[in-house]
Amino acid sequence: MRIKQVSVFVENQPGRLEAILKVLEDKGVSIRALSVSDTAEFGIVRMILPDAEFGLEVLREAGFTTRIDWILSAHIPNVPGGLLNSVVRPLADAGINLKYFYAYIEQPAEDKAMVLLKTDDLEKAEEVLKSL
């Protein structure tokens, strides 16, 4: 299933993540999933928010550089090899590059987990995962 992700580009400096989170808290925006990655000079904060457009708006108003991307969410079995056999191998077999992924809990379930993923071919990846 496709889902909107908000990305925030920030300098890799102390307090920048805190500033992002404070803006969201002040505007009553919850975070459903969060991933932070960095390089020497900048970081990317990726988030799943209940209302991506509103979150984007309040972050832009606060002066942050942001964008919305479509990514995929995929339920996977919560067993050894679940990620490998339900996402990674089928995409590799279809020639789709998995750019990044992170975990996301939509609702607690003992036998399922969920990952969010960005690929180089979102449409084809979605077809592959739906066919499993």
- Model pLDDT, residue 77: 87
**Averaged confidence pLDDT in the chain:** 90
pLDDT digits (tens, 9 = 90+) for 111-130: 666 677 888 898 999 999 88
Domain covering 2-69: architecture: 2-Layer Sandwich (3.30)
Residue with tokens 């499993």: 132
CATH homologous superfamily, domain 71-130: ACT domain (3.30.70.260)
What's the pLDDT at 108?
58
Examine the pLDDT at 102 and tell me if it is beyond 70. yes
pLDDT value, residue 13: 86
Name the one residue in this structure whose structure tokens are 């996402």.
87
Which helix (H) or strand (E) is 22 found in, with range?
Answer: helix 16-26
Over residues 79-99, the pLDDT tens digits come to: 899 999 999 999 999 999 999
How far separated are the first and last CA of the chain, in Å rounded? 13
Triad 105, 111, 114: Cα angle to 5°: 30
Order across the sheet with 112-119: list the strands.
33-38, 42-48, 2-11, 65-77, 112-119, 98-103
Full-model pTM: 0.82
Domains 2-69 and 71-130 belong to one CATH topology: no
Kindly state the average pLDDT of the residues 18-34.
95
